[in-house]
């Protein structure tokens, strides 16, 4: 959904000594329109829509970044909190429910991605058949 993940040439090192790689951990949700540039996002992170994470930034596990947040270059976001703003600021600790919600959201997006893969990729006409069945009022079960 319009996410940009930028890195550099393989084997190169930036002037700062950071590798030009972007790491995204397990059970992460990256919001639509977000831009990640040579950064690290650990496991169980929810990056809101239109967030920007710049070079050398490190977002530790179990973090929620509110939509539109800007993580400046070389910033470390410690685990267990809700962060937001431009530039980013700490908004509060995450409770157990919010931490569990990060994983559930990521799982839900994974299921949705698989459904889209089945329907639309490779380019085919399966989705047309699905729309015809729905127009006829038939119950459609995907998956």
pLDDT digits (tens, 9 = 90+) for 7-62: 556 667 777 676 778 899 999 999 989 999 889 999 999 999 999 999 889 999 99
Handedness of CA 141, 31, 101, 21 (dihedral sign): positive
Residue 1 predicted with pLDDT over 60: no
Assess contact for 34 and 46: CB atoms under 8 A: no
Beta strand pairing status for 4-6 and 45-47? unpaired
Would you place residue 114 in the very low, low, confident or very high pLDDT band (cuts 50, 70, 90)? confident
Model pLDDT, residue 120:
65
pLDDT of residue 11: 65
Could you tell me which residue, 109 or 128, shows the higher pLDDT? 109
* Torsion region of 54: left, alpha or beta (phi above 0 gives left; psi -120 to 50 gives alpha): beta
Q: What is the pLDDT of residue 66?
A: 97
- pTM of the prediction? 0.73
Rounded CA-CA distance 18/43 in Å is 20
Please report, for the chain, how many H helices and E strands are present, in that order. 2, 13
Task: Calculate the CA 52 to chain-centre distance.
Answer: 11
Q: Where is pLDDT greater, at 60 or 120?
A: 60
pLDDT in tens, 81-111: 999 999 999 999 999 999 999 999 999 988 8
Residue identified by tokens 């496991």 is 43
């Amino acid at each position: 959904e319009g996410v940009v993940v930028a890195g550099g040439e393989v084997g190169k090192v930036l002037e700062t000594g950071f590798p030009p790689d972007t790491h995204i951990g397990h059970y992460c949700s990256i919001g639509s329109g977000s831009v990640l540039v040579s950064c690290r996002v650990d496991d169980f992170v929810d990056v809101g829509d239109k967030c920007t994470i710049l070079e050398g930034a490190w977002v530790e596990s179990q973090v929620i970044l509110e939509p539109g947040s800007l993580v400046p270059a070389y910033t470390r976001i410690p685990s267990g909190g809700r962060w937001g703003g431009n530039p980013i600021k700490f908004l509060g600790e995450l409770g157990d429910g919010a931490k569990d919600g990060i994983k559930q959201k990521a799982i839900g997006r994974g299921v949705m991605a698989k459904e889209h893969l089945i329907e639309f990729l490779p380019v085919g006409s399966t989705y047309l058949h699905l729309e015809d069945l729905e127009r006829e009022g038939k119950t459609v079960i995907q998956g």
